[in-house]
Amino acid sequence: MANHLFLPIVSLMIGAALAVLFGRQRWVARGIVVGSVLFHLVYSLRLLWVVAEHGRQVSQAGGWLAPFGITFVADGATAIMLAVASLLTLMTVLYSFASLDEGYERYFYYPLVLLLLLGVSGAFMTGDLFNLYVWFEVLLLASFGLITLGGTRAQLEGGLKYVVLNLMGSIAFLIGCGLVYGVVGTLNMAHIAERMQTIQQPGIMTAIACIFLFAFGSKAAILPLFFWLPTSYHTPPVAVTAIFSGLLTKVGAYSLYRVFGTVMQNELLHLAPWILTIAWLTMLVGVFGAMAQMNVRRILSFHIVSQIGYSVMGLGLASSLGLAAGLLFTAHVMIVKTSLFFIGGAAEQIYGTGDIKKMGGLARREPVLAIFWFLGIISLAGLPPMSGFFGKLALLQAGVTQGAWLVTGVATLTGILTLFSMLKIWNEVFWKKSYADISKLPRVSLGLLLPGALLVVISLALGLGASVLVDYTSLAGGQLFDQAGYIQSVCGLDGCEAVFQAAIR
C-alpha cells in the first residue's frame, strides 16, 4: 500500500482552491501556484525512484478493496508521464508570469492551470475506467476555460470547435464505459482485464475496443479525428497552446497505452495492423499539413498530429519493446514540443504576428533565441545528440525487429519531412533578411526565453544521458505490458475475482 499516491492530487486541489481564495493578493496567489506545482514535481521525481526501486505502487481510496473502490496505480509509465507533466506545467507557469497581462490573472488563469494538471495527473494514476472518464472531464473543463479565457472572436470560434469535438469523444468514451460494465460487470481495470480472458462472446469486446479507439483517438488527435486541433490551438495565448500541446493529446495517447496495452491486450493484438496503418497515415498527413501552413503556431500544431503518429506506432507494435519505445518518444516530444511553442511564441511576441512571411532576421537580432530554436528543431526532427534521436531510434529498432517495414519506412521519411518543414520556419523567421527595420523591435525578455531554453537543455541532457532514460522506459514498457503483474499488484495474488467472490459471499 502506497497511501501517498493521493498527495499530488490533493495538493493541486488545495492549491487551486487557495489560489482562488487569495486571487486579490497577486503575489500570494502566484506563490501558492508555484508552490503546489513544485510539490507535484518533487513528488513525481521521487515517485520515479520509488517505482524503479520497489515496483508498482497501489493505493485504494478510503480503504475499499480493489474491484469495489477507486484504485490508484503508479507504474513506470505513470511516473514518467507525471514527472514530465509537472515539469511542463512549472515552465508554463513561469512563462505565463512573463507573457500574460493581469486580466488573465483576475479571471483565474493560474487555478485553471492547476486544475488542468490535476485532471492530467488523475488520468495518469487511476486504475478505474469510469474514474478515468471523470479525470478526462476535469481536465477538459479546465481546458475549455483556458482556451476561451480572453474572449476574442478567434478564440471563441476555435473554442467552440474544440468543445464540440471533444464532447463527441467524451460521449464515445462514456458509451464504451457503459458497454464494458454491461458485458463484464466491472469497471476496475484489473478486474476487466481478468474477466475479459474468460468472456463468452469475444466479438463484442472488439466492438467496444473500437469505440475506445475512437474516444481516445479523438483526444489524441489521430488521423481521421485530428481536425479540431489545428483549428483551435493557435487561438489562445502562447502559454496555453504550449501546455495543451504538452499535456492534452498525450493524455489521449497514454490512455490508449493503458487501456489497450494493459487491459485489452487481446484486442490490441486483433487491431494492431489497423493501429499501425492509422499511425503512419497520421504521421504523413500531419507533416504534409504542416508544410502548407504559413503561421508559426499552425505549423507546430500540425506537427503535434504528426508526432502523435509515432506514439500510436509504439502502441501498434503491440509488444513491451514497442510500448517502451513509444513512451520514450512521447516523453521526449512533450518536452520538445512545449519548448518550441515557448520559443516560437517569444518570436511571435517580438513581431506581434505569427505570420512567418512578415517575420525575418531574428538570428541576427536574437542569436540566443535562434540557437535554442535550432537545437529544438533538430531534436524534433530526430538528429543526434538530442533526445529526439533516441526516441526515434528506439521506435525504428522496435519496428525493424518486428518486421513492420511500412510504418518504419514512413517514420523515417516523416523525420526528414519534419526537418524540412521546421527549416521553413528557421529560414523565414530567423535566417532571411527582414523587410522591415528590425533594430526597432523589442528585445526578448529573460522570462520568455528561459522556460523554452531550459526545456531544450533538458532535451539535450536526456539525449546525452539516453541510457538511463532507455533503461527506465524499457522497465516501464515491461510493466505496462505485464497484465498478470498488474492484476496481482492491484487485487492481490489471487486476482480480483477472488476478492469479489469472497466479498459477495
Partner 1 sequence: MYESVILRTVARVMMPLLLLLSVFMLLRGHNLPGGGFIGGLLASAAIIMQIIAFGPTFARKVIRVGYLNMAAFGVFFGALWGLPALFFNLPYMDAFWINDPIPGIGKIGTPVLFDVGVFLAVIGVTTRVALLLAEEPELFPMYVQAETEE
Chain residues that interact with partner 1, rule: CB under 8 A:
1, 3-7, 10, 13-14, 16-18, 20-21, 59-63
Given a contact cutoff of 8 angstroms between Cβ atoms, the answer to whether 41 and 83 are in contact is yes
d(CA 321, CA 330): 14
Element (H, E) at 466: helix 466-481
Residues 6+ apart with CB under 8 A from 266: 196, 197, 202, 205
Tally the C-alpha atoms within 13 A of residue 276's C-alpha that lie toward its C-beta: 25
Instruction: In angstroms, give the least distance from the CB of 122 to partner 1.
Output: 13
One DSSP character per residue, 35-103 reads HHHHHHHHHHHHHHHHHHHH--EEEEGGG--TTTS-EEEE-HHHHHHHHHHHHHHHHHHHHHHHH--HH
In angstroms, give the least distance from the CB of 256 to partner 1: 28
CB-nearer residue toward partner 1: 215 or 496: 496
Closest distance to partner 1 from the beta carbon of 110 (Å): 13
* DSSP track, 115-170: HHHHHHHHHHHB-BHHHHHHHHHHHHHHHHHHHHTT--HHHHHHHHHHHHHHHHHH
Question: Which residue, among 249, 372, 362, 357, has the nearest Cα to 302 in the 3D structure?
Answer: 249
Q: At its nearest, how many Å lie between partner 1 and the CB of residue 39?
A: 13
111 or 344: CB nearest partner 1: 111
Helix (DSSP H) and strand (DSSP E) numbers for the chain = 22, 2
Shorter beta-carbon distance to partner 1: residue 3 or 501:
3
What is the total residue count of the chain?
Answer: 505
SS3 391: helix
Cβ distance to partner 1 smaller for residue 5 or 275 = 5
Beta carbon of residue 96, minimum distance to partner 1 (angstroms, whole number): 20
Question: Which residue number, 149 or 300, has a Cβ lying nearer to partner 1?
Answer: 149
- Smallest CA-to-CA distance from 251 within 221, 291, 294 is with 221
Nearer to partner 1, 7 or 371 (CB): 7
Cell of 73: 496505480
CB of 63 to partner 1, least distance (A): 5
Q: Give the three cell numbers for residue 307.
A: 508526432
Specify the residue, 15 or 360, whose C-beta has the smaller distance to partner 1.
Answer: 15
User: Smallest distance, Å, CB 9 to partner 1?
Assistant: 8
Do the Cβ atoms of 44 and 83 come closer than 8 Å? yes
Comparing CB distances to partner 1, the nearer of 107 and 181 is 107
Q: What is the DSSP letter of 108?
A: T
Q: How far apart are CA 233 and CA 28, in angstroms?
A: 30
What's the closest the beta carbon of residue 271 comes to partner 1, in angstroms?
36
Task: Tell me the closest approach of the beta carbon of residue 106 to partner 1, in angstroms.
Answer: 12
CB of 152 to partner 1, least distance (A): 16
**Between 1 and 446, whose beta carbon lies closer to partner 1?**
1
Q: How far is CA 267 from CA 7, 157, 247, 424, in A?
A: 34, 38, 26, 41
What is the longest distance spanned by two Cα atoms in the chain? 81
Least distance to partner 1, CB of residue 120, Å: 18
99 with 448: CB under 8 angstroms?
yes
- Residue 14 or residue 269: which is nearer to partner 1 going by CB? 14
* Nearest residue (CB) to partner 1, 1 versus 493: 1
